[in-house]
Amino acid sequence: MEFLRNLLSGPTIGIIIAIIAIVVILTTGYLKAPPDTAIIISGIGKKPRILIGRAGLRIPFFERIDRLTLKQININFRTEDYIPTKDYINITVDAVAKVHVDMEKIAVAMTNFLNKSEDEIIADLQGTLQGNMREIIGTMYLKEICNDRSSFSDKVKESASPNMSNLGIEILSCNIQTISDRNNLIEDMGMDNTSKIKKDAAIAKAESERDVAIAEAQAKKAANDARVEAETQIAEKNNQLAIKQSQLKISADMKKAEADAAYKIQEQEQRRTIEVNSVNADIARQEREAELKKVEVQVTEQALDAEVKKKADAEQYAQQKRAEVELFQRQRDADAKAYEIQKEAEAMRAKAEAEKYAAEQKAAGIRTIGEAEAAAVKAKGLAEAEGIDKKAEAMRKMGEASVLEMFFKAYPEVMAAAAKPLENVGNITMYGEGNSAKLIGDIVNSGTQVMSGVEQATGLDIKALLSGFLGGKFAGSNSSDDTKASDKSSSEEKSVAGLGFDVDETVKF
């Protein structure tokens, strides 16, 4: 008891209290931060203290602690709707990004994500990543996105890094998971590649079969060459033997050899008798060299044929594709030309119909005018006939003197009317003698015919009236026929001159 009393007295109590305080501080203020979490101690100092992977102390009730996760966070993000690419194909993209807090900008990260869980951080960052991925989709073609996903993900990472850095986050990686489109164009592109792969495989198989066939042919050729070579040697020996026998036989019986051989062989044998001694030694060597060269040429030809055939197949395929493009272009040009020709034909047909309608209208007008003129002429003729009938009736009632007076007044007008059609003639060229007199006679005969018509219409004999009026002086004239003809021609010319015409070998109106 004494010991306890001494222990609780005086300075000992203060020491105990201090020890207890230290124990309490150590038990409640001692902190140990793991490597994947930052513990921020704030409250007393101007700047917070950050513990990462080490221990530290805080003063209870005066300092507070906050936590910020430093773990790698996987953020799955995707476009909410179809986004058009640079070639206007709508697609959706699923991607995943790995991020963590940028240690150089941990102060910025603390202001944005302090004490937040991984799910809350993911929710805050998904919108930023989605927006940047939408921007990159609009700058790339679908084929580029599908064939080079690494480049696409790098562009998304590069585009999103500044925005994420402003939040204190660093993007470690960005990977594209799936790409889909609304019209299954990606699947169609895969089918196209599949067909190309199948085509390449078929070509490779065909080339392999061709190489096998070439090898078999070469083996067969080698066997055939060996057989040919053996047969050639035998033939050469036989040929040499035959040559020697022929030489002996030719010397013994030349005429019999010429009769047995063909006409071409006879000429060759005759030359050979002169040259055989100089070429026998070279025959075997030359034939052997020829065979070897032939074999070498055949092997070279087969190798070249295989290479040329392969190139020809590729060129044929390229030419076929170019021909298809040119055919499509020509068909399209031909369709356009046919359309233009059709439009031109329709325009010409419309123009022809308009011209036909105008011509029909013009013809109808001309026909109407002609019918009116014909009616006018008919009416005029009827009026003139009626007037002539009335004049004839009046003339019958008048005396002979009045009839003659009226006849002589009307006769110049009748002659002028008879010559009226000649006013429409520009020139009349007459050849031969007497043609001008004949023309004048025709005009006068027209007047005579008019006089006869008047006599028939009125029943009066104009000649008799004239004879009675003149007392028969002209009828009893004793002048000669030449004088009468001359007077008649003169009177006819005066009559025509009275009508205003000049008579010559060329009569002009």
Which tokens is 182 given? 């609304």
Single out the residue of 379, 388, 382, 381 nearest to residue 454, CA to CA: 388
pLDDT of residue 329: 83
pLDDT of residue 239: 84
Residues 92, 78 contacting (CB under 8 angstroms): yes
Residues 149, 176 contacting (CB under 8 angstroms): yes
Which tokens is 38 given? 């930052």
pLDDT of residue 375: 75
pLDDT of residue 392: 62
pLDDT of residue 495: 41
For 257, other C-beta atoms within 10 Å of its C-beta total 17
Q: Is 31 helix (H, G, I), strand (E, B) or coil?
A: strand
* Interhelix angle 400-419/435-458, nearest 10 degrees: 140
423: which DSSP letter?
G
Q: How far apart are the C-alpha atoms of 111 and 358, rounded to whole Å?
A: 94
**Bridge-partner residues for 377, per DSSP?**
none
Q: How far apart are the C-alpha atoms of 16 and 24, rounded to whole Å?
A: 12
37-42 and 64-69 beta bridge pairing: antiparallel
Which tokens is 470 given? 């003149």
Phi, psi of 358 (to 5 degrees): -65, -45
Tracing tokens 């390449």 back to the chain, one arrives at 200
Single out the residue of 492, 472, 488 nearest to residue 480, CA to CA: 488
Task: Output the DSSP codes for 322-383.
Answer: HHHHHHHHHHHHHHHHHHHHHHHHHHHHHHHHHHHHHHHHHHHHHHHHHHHHHHHHHHHHHH
Neighbouring residues of 239: CB distance < 8 A, sequence distance ≥ 6: 283
pLDDT of residue 166: 92
Q: How far apart are the C-alpha atoms of 155 and 161, rounded to whole Å?
A: 10
Residues 177, 96 contacting (CB under 8 angstroms): yes
55: which DSSP letter?
E
Single out the residue of 76, 114, 102, 117 nearest to residue 166, CA to CA: 102
Alpha carbon distance, N-terminus to C-terminus of the chain = 183
Which tokens is 192 given? 């196209």
Tracing tokens 């052997």 back to the chain, one arrives at 288
55-57 and 83-84 beta bridge pairing: unpaired
**Alpha-carbon dihedral of residues 103, 105, 106, 107, nearest 10 degrees?**
160
Which tokens is 489 given? 């021609």
Single out the residue of 83, 85, 81, 50 nearest to residue 68, CA to CA: 50
pLDDT of residue 435: 55
Q: How far apart are the C-alpha atoms of 91 and 89, rounded to whole Å?
A: 6
Tracing tokens 């019209």 back to the chain, one arrives at 183
pLDDT of residue 270: 76
**Residue 137 burial class via C-beta count within 10 angstroms: exposed 0-12, middle 13-18, buried 19 and up:** buried
pTM: 0.35
Which residue type occupies 183? N
Q: Cα–Cα distances in Å, from 14 out to 18, 21, 247?
A: 6, 10, 151
**Bridge-partner residues for 508, per DSSP?**
427
Q: How far apart are the C-alpha atoms of 118 and 103, rounded to whole Å?
A: 17
pLDDT of residue 415: 67
CA 435 to chain centre: 77
Task: Output the DSSP codes for 140-179.
Answer: S-HHHHHH-HHHHHHHHHHHHHHHHHHTTEEEEEEEEEEE
Q: What is the CA radius of gyration of the chain?
A: 68
Name the helix (H) or strand (E) containing 101.
Answer: strand 90-101
Q: How far apart are the C-alpha atoms of 73 and 37, rounded to whole Å?
A: 13
Q: How far apart are the C-alpha atoms of 154 and 137, rounded to whole Å?
A: 12
pLDDT of residue 483: 45
Single out the residue of 60, 163, 154 nearest to residue 108, CA to CA: 163
* Interhelix angle 118-137/106-113, nearest 10 degrees: 110
Q: How far apart are the C-alpha atoms of 252 and 408, rounded to whole Å?
A: 141
pLDDT of residue 391: 66
pLDDT of residue 500: 40
Phi, psi of 404 (to 5 degrees): -65, -40
Q: Is 49 helix (H, G, I), strand (E, B) or coil?
A: strand
Q: Tell me which residues of the chain have a pLDDT lower than 50.
A: 472-509
Residues 34, 51 contacting (CB under 8 angstroms): no
